[in-house]
C-alpha cells in the first residue's frame, strides 16, 4: 500500500522528467556539494490510534567520515547519533549513552552517500525511483532491499530543489515521520555534535 501511494506521488509531478538512472545522477549532482551538513528541522510523527501528530524541532548534523547526529531540542531534548560501529542515545536518566550498534555503519554510509553522491552505496541497499523536473525540483523514493533496514523503515520519500527540503519515513508499524528542513544551512558545525561523533569512532 505504501509503495502504491509513493508511486502515485510520482505521477502528480510535471511531466518534464528524466529516466531513473539519469534522474538519480541529476539529484546527487545538485546535493553533493558538501562534506558537512547542519540544518534545523521540524518533525511530525503520526502514530496509528492518535488523532494529532507529535511535533518536535531540532537539528541534524552530518560530517563525512564521522557520522550523523539527530538532536531534538523541543519539546524535550533528545539525541540519537551514529558513527563508526557505535550509536549514542539519550537514556531515561537524561544522559547520552554510547553502545555498539550493528545498524550504525548503515546510517553513516547512507548519510555520506547523500553528501558525496555515492550512488552505488545508495542503490546497493535501496530500490530507487526518481523524478526530476525542468525547474530543478525532484522527488526520490527509496525502498529497502535489506531486511535489517526494512525492519526499521518500509519506505522513504525525499523532496528537494538543490538541497533536501522534506523527508517522509514510513515504518512497518504504521508510524509516519514527516520532516521539513530549514532553508538555512549552517556553515559552522555545533561543537557538541562534533565532539559526540568523535567519541563514537
CATH number of the domain residue 105 falls in: 2.50.20.10
pLDDT given at position 17:
41
Q: Phi then psi for 140, rounded to 5 degrees?
A: -130, 125
pLDDT at 164: 82
Supply the range of the domain harboring residue 103. Answer: 2-7+17-182+191-200
In a domain, residue 112? The reply is yes
102 vs 84, 114, 158, CA distance in Å? Answer: 10, 20, 25
Q: Are 189 and 36 in contact (CB under 8 A)?
A: yes
* Grid coordinates given for 6: 509513493
Would you state the pLDDT for residue 165?
86
- What is the pLDDT at residue 19? 46
In total, how many domains does the chain have?
A: 1
In a domain, 12, yes or no: no
Domain contains 158: yes
**Dihedral sign computed on CA atoms, order 43, 123, 9, 37:** positive
pLDDT at residue 107 in the model: 83
The parts of the chain modelled with pLDDT lower than 70 are 1-20, 30-34, 115-120, 183-187
In the chain, beta strands by DSSP E: 36-46, 54-63, 67-74, 78-83, 86-90, 96-100, 126-132, 138-144, 155-161, 163-170, 176-185
Looking at the domain assignment, is residue 88 inside a domain?
Answer: yes
Amino acid at each position: 500500500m505504501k509503495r502504491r501511494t509513493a508511486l502515485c506521488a510520482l505521477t502528480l509531478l510535471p511531466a518534464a522528467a528524466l529516466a531513473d538512472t539519469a534522474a538519480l545522477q541529476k539529484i546527487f549532482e545538485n546535493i553533493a556539494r558538501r562534506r558537512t551538513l547542519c540544518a534545523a528541522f521540524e518533525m511530525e510523527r503520526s502514530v496509528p490510534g492518535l488523532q494529532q501528530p507529535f511535533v518536535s524541532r531540532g537539528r541534524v548534523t552530518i560530517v563525512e567520515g564521522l557520522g550523523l547526529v539527530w538532536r531534538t531540542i523541543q519539546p524535550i531534548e533528545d539525541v540519537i547519533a551514529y558513527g563508526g560501529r557505535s550509536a549514542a542515545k539519550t537514556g531515561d536518566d537524561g544522559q547520552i549513552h554510547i553502545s555498539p550498534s550493528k545498524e550504525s555503519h548503515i546510517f553513516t554510509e547512507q548519510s555520506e552517500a547523500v553528501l558525496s553522491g555515492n550512488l552505488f552505496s545508495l542503490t546497493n541497499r535501496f530500490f530507487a525511483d526518481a523524478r526530476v523536473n525542468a525547474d530543478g525540483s525532484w522527488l526520490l523514493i527509496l525502498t529497502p532491499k535489506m531486511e535489517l533496514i526494512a525492519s526499521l523503515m518500509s519506505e522513504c520519500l525525499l523532496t528537494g530543489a538543490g538541497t533536501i527540503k522534506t523527508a517522509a519515513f514510513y515504518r512497518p508499524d504504521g508510524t509516519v515521520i514527516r520532516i521539513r528542513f530549514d532553508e538555512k544551512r549552517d556553515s559552522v558545525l555545533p561543537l557538541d555534535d562534533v565532539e559526540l561523533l568523535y567519541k563514537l569512532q
